[in-house]
């Protein structure tokens, strides 16, 4: 009899626990519902719609024909190469310059808060405005930069119409606009490093360079990983720079992948092919992000 009562008590407690867990799960899903609806409507559904559109031509269903055409299209590969060069240059220089500025403005300097704000102003300005401003600054005839070069006895340059200078110029403009954000991220990372680590390294006889190499860089690894991933994603999707500053020229030197997709869709009126190109870039960004996260997670294990 006692055994039966004990079993009934155990079953009752188990039923209560199951019911409580079910209510907690229901409450959790209720709170998650807005985010799930948002991602379903504005993320997953557009991806499915984009993939379906990528299998259409202007007149009929072509299956994977647009993807086959994309892999055989020499111009697609050329724009992809240009975009990769742009992404590599912007990401690498953003990390180096942003970290250098963060290290400098992390020092107890007078007016450092003002300088931090100044470096953030370009980031808070639209790339359209930044592009128009720099297009005027780099104008070969009336641009301020060429006037300064001439003043110092240096030759004027065709910054945006020279095949060899156009891409570096656009990279420089992009870094000028975005390096303030990178600086702030690294500043947050630096200020999150406990000072005890530096004191311990100093006691062990480590100099400034050694402390930077063996304390700062390893502990900034998660921040660096985030900066690199965001930088690569943003750079691969660059559009405004080419659209506003160079229109993809000269001779397609700054014809970025997304700008090419835009022209295929709206100038050539080939929405199916443009959708296929867009979906391919989505896959490239996804794969590169996963690779960076996998490599970065290994590098940040300390």
pLDDT average, residue stretch 13-29 = 71
Residue 5: per-residue pLDDT: 44
* Whole-angstrom distance, CA of residue 259 vs CA of residue 240: 8
Tokens at residue 89, please? Answer: 């240059």
What are the pLDDT digits (tens) for 214-238? 899 999 999 999 999 999 999 999 9
For the chain, domain boundaries? 75-299
pTM of the model: 0.86
Segment 54-112, tens digit of pLDDT: 998 877 888 899 999 999 999 999 999 999 999 999 999 999 999 999 999 988 888 88
In a 3-state reduction of DSSP, which class is residue 230?
helix
Q: How many Å separate Cα 232 from the centre of its chain?
A: 5
- Token pair recorded at residue 80: 């992809």
pLDDT digits (tens, 9 = 90+) for 180-214: 999 999 999 999 998 888 888 888 888 888 988 88
What is the residue-averaged pLDDT of the chain?
Answer: 88
Instruction: Measure CA of the first residue to CA of the last residue in the chain; give whole Å.
Output: 58
Tell me whether residue 183 is exposed, middle or buried, using C-beta atoms within 10 angstroms of its C-beta: 0 to 12, 13 to 18, 19 or more. Answer: buried
pLDDT at 107: 87
Helices 74-105/221-236 angle, 10° precision = 140
Instruction: Tell me if the domain spanning 75-299 has CATH number 1.10.3720.10.
Output: yes
Mean pLDDT, to the nearest integer, of 18-47?
83
Q: Work out the pLDDT band at 297, boundaries 50, 70, 90.
A: low
Predicted pLDDT of residue 70: 95
């Amino acid at each position: 009899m006692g055994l039966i009562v004990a079993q009934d008590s155990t079953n009752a407690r188990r039923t209560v626990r199951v019911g409580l867990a079910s209510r907690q799960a229901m409450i959790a899903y209720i709170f998650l519902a807005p985010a799930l609806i948002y991602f379903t409507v504005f993320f997953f559904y557009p991806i499915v719609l984009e993939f379906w559109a990528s299998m259409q031509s202007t007149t009929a269903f072509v299956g994977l024909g647009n993807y086959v055409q994309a892999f055989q299209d020499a111009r697609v590969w050329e724009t992809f190469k240009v975009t990769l060069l742009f992404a590599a240059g912007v990401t690498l220089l953003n990390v180096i310059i942003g970290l250098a500025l963060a290290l400098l403005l992390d020092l107890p300097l007078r007016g450092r808060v003002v300088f931090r704000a100044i470096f953030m102003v370009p980031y808070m300005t639209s790339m359209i405005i930044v592009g128009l401003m720099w297009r005027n600054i780099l104008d070969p005839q009336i641009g301020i930069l060429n006037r300064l070069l001439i003043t110092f006895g240096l030759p004027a340059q065709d910054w945006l119409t020279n095949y060899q200078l156009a891409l570096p110029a656009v990279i420089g403009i992009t870094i000028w606009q975005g390096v303030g954000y990178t600086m702030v991220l690294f500043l947050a990372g630096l200020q999150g490093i406990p000072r005890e680590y530096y004191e311990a390294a100093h006691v062990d006889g480590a100099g400034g360079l050694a402390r930077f190499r063996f304390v700062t860089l390893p502990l900034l690894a998660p921040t660096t990983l985030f900066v690199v991933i965001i930088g690569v994603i943003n750079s691969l999707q660059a559009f405004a720079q080419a659209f506003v500053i160079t229109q993809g020229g000269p001779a397609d030197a700054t014809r970025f992948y997304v700008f090419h997709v835009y022209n295929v869709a709206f100038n050539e009126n080939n929405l199916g092919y443009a959708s296929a190109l867009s979906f391919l870039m989505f896959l490239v960004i996804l794969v590169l992000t996963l690779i960076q996260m996998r490599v970065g997670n290994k590098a940040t294990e300390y």
